Amino acid sequence: MRTPRRSAIPRRYLMCPPAYFRVSYSINPWMDPGKPVDLAVAQAQWEDLRDRYRALGHTVEELVPHPGCPDMVFTANGATVVDGRVLGARFAFAERGAEAAVHARWYREHGFADVREPLHINEGEGDFAVTASWLLAGRGFRSSPLSHAEAQEYFRRPVIGLDLVDPRFYHLDTALCVLDGGDGEPGGRGAEIMYYPGAFSPGSRAVLARLFPDAVVASAADAAAFGLNAVSDGLHVLLPAGAVGLFGPLRERGFEPLGMDLGELLKGGGSVKCVTAEVRPG
């Protein structure tokens, strides 16, 4: 395979410092309220990621953290923004319910005219991954299948529903990452992804293999190290450093993998992508 020439596209990200991060309830298998969280370490790891984005030329804006929202650091769940249009979140668990309004308000205050409050449960980019042509959408643990139709109608992009079957990979962004969205032209350069097949139902695995025959396929160990919970700018791929098996395949394809340590935030069941919401311009 010829190594394609990659280029980074400057992005706009929304993050929230983990000032009140803690594991006081358990809504995914990674969360153990018995395990203490070192806030200073969590904050330092989070700042590392934020500063790395900025050093790469990306814009990072920050939400003000709220004491009553210990999972607020996971901003990917707060909304989905495509073509400058915002589909708000509706959380599956009451523990995170209040976060949705904070995100919706942020978008309204930052000049976004189209901010839709959703009818159906969806946890933002946790379950919606965006390519130039489609939305890939997870269901099974959090987002309702009904939210897929709602997103398709709102964004006017085909939504490809994918069934998640392993509770450790409860959001799509724990099992799949868009590395390059493609150019969206018919017959043009297609999107490229990496994913862990074991997280998906047999039918969804077959759909992914058909749409993305050249995908990077992650091992169980790299998936368990949260290696798919990554962010790509088209060239750099920021991912948990522990996912060692992914670095080679990414380099072979012309990407520059950058290992990050977000171990403290993993206690909440999230890593690089979970703490990064992408604001896609119109």
Binding footprint of ligand ARG on the chain (CB under 6 A)? 27-28, 31, 71, 74, 76-77, 96, 126, 171, 173-174, 268-270, 274
User: Is there a contact between 191 and 133 (Cβ–Cβ < 8 Å)?
Assistant: yes
Q: Under 8 Å CB-to-CB from 150, ≥6 apart: which residues?
A: 87, 118, 119, 120, 122
Would you say the C-alpha torsion 251, 218, 221, 161 has a positive or negative sign? positive
- Choice between 3 and 24, CB closer to ligand ARG: 24
- Choice between 127 and 192, CB closer to ligand ARG: 127
Rounded to whole angstroms, the Cα distance separating 43 from 39 reads 6
Catalytic, out of 16, 69, 177, 274: 274
- Choice between 96 and 103, CB closer to ligand ARG: 96
User: Is there a contact between 199 and 169 (Cβ–Cβ < 8 Å)?
Assistant: yes
Residue 171 annotated to the active site: yes
Min CB(16)–ligand ARG separation in Å: 12
Rounded to whole angstroms, the Cα distance separating 251 from 111 reads 38
Instruction: List the one residue out of 262, 257, 259 whose CA is nearest residue 15.
Output: 262
Distance of CA 276 to the CA centre of its chain: 7
- Choice between 167 and 188, CB closer to ligand ARG: 167
Instruction: List the one residue out of 238, 224, 196 whose CA is nearest residue 58.
Output: 238
Min CB(180)–ligand ARG separation in Å: 20
Min CB(248)–ligand ARG separation in Å: 25
Residue 274 annotated to the active site: yes
Alpha helices in 56-160 (DSSP H): 99-109, 145-155
Min CB(20)–ligand ARG separation in Å: 13
- Choice between 107 and 253, CB closer to ligand ARG: 107
Min CB(164)–ligand ARG separation in Å: 11
Catalytic, out of 148, 171, 177, 236: 171
**DSSP code of 176?**
E
Catalytic positions: 171, 274
